[in-house]
Amino acid sequence: MHKIEFMKPLILITNDDGITSKGISVLVEVMQKIGEVVVVAPDSPNSGMGHAITVDATLHIKKSNIFKGVEAYECSGTPADCVKLAKHHFLKGRKIDLVVSGINHGMNASISVIYSGTMSAAIEAAIEDIPSIGFSLNDFKYDADFEHTKKYIKKIALKALSNGIPKNTALNVNFPAKQAEPIKGIKVCRQNNGFWLEEFDSRKDPHGRPYFWMGGGFVNREPENQENDIWAIENNYVSIVPCHYDMTHYQAIKELKKWKI
């Protein structure tokens, strides 16, 4: 009798908090149950990196033994660099079945998707035609509790592998922080309309020169609406927003054409 061998899916893992963060170790643990895992992640925190890439400097890499039995590399670049390096160098010629990024320590809902290194890695994968998912937890703590996210991550990743993700789309998945009540379920929804209202904390360095810390709070422009990711997370649901990378505002094209310039 022949033994039937199933090919395990090839899963690339990255993040923006850096290879030593707790969130990525949870993602590695879950993904090892579903596929062959390769990790290429930043060697230091890259929060707020947006879709930065390293074009004017060199990229440095080092093999890492941080995850037992997992091929892993740490990279001096950004999350988007890590995906590019994985696809075009470490895994050149191999088909990557899924890119997962995270789990981010901190929420990446609403406008934060634009600033998020976690999501930039997922969107970079989508640009390169690889199904991808960014995972984030609404808890900034370095030792945040990720236990309640595991079964959802596995479920969503398996669905993505079996059903596929709409072409050139990355999923932005956000989890509520661990609460006394279990998560109520999953909401597929749209990006909330909101922004960060900055306040700059102005200080003087020991030489009397000014410097700033960026701070501030999130402003929800549609607190009554229930169809968006912020509402879902605040109400103890997992939010999934499918994201594309066509920034064109199609309706505005018509208006601008009226300018007749």
Residues 164-223 that bind a second copy (CB under 8 A): 165-166, 169, 171-172, 186, 188-191, 193, 195, 198-200, 202-203, 209-214, 216
Binding flag, residue 259, a second copy (CB under 8 A):
yes
The answer to whether residues 1 and 43 touch, using CB atoms and an 8 Å cutoff, is: no
Length of the chain (residues): 261
**Which pairing describes strands 71-75 and 98-105: parallel, antiparallel, or unpaired?**
unpaired
Q: Which amino acid is at 242?
A: P
Binding flag, residue 113, a second copy (CB under 8 A):
yes
What whole-number distance in Å separates Cα of residue 149 and Cα of residue 139?
12
Q: How far is the CB of 78 from a second copy (least distance, A)?
A: 8
Q: How far is the CB of 134 from a second copy (least distance, A)?
A: 11
What whole-number distance in Å separates Cα of residue 76 and Cα of residue 73?
10
The answer to whether residues 82 and 97 touch, using CB atoms and an 8 Å cutoff, is: no
Options 47, 220, 225, 236; binder of a second copy; rule CB under 8 A: 47
**Which pairing describes strands 210-220 and 194-204: parallel, antiparallel, or unpaired?**
antiparallel
Piece of 20-28, 35-43, 107-115, 141-149 that binds a second copy (CB under 8 A): 107-115
Tokens matching residue 123: 């969107």
Binding flag, residue 239, a second copy (CB under 8 A):
no
Options 1, 55, 69, 95; binder of a second copy; rule CB under 8 A: 55
What whole-number distance in Å separates Cα of residue 87 and Cα of residue 81?
10
Binding flag, residue 240, a second copy (CB under 8 A):
yes
Q: How far is the CB of 224 from a second copy (least distance, A)?
A: 18
Piece of 1-9, 27-35, 97-105, 248-256 that binds a second copy (CB under 8 A): 248-256
Binding flag, residue 243, a second copy (CB under 8 A):
yes
Chain-centroid distance, C-alpha 16: 8
Q: How far is the CB of 1 from a second copy (least distance, A)?
A: 36
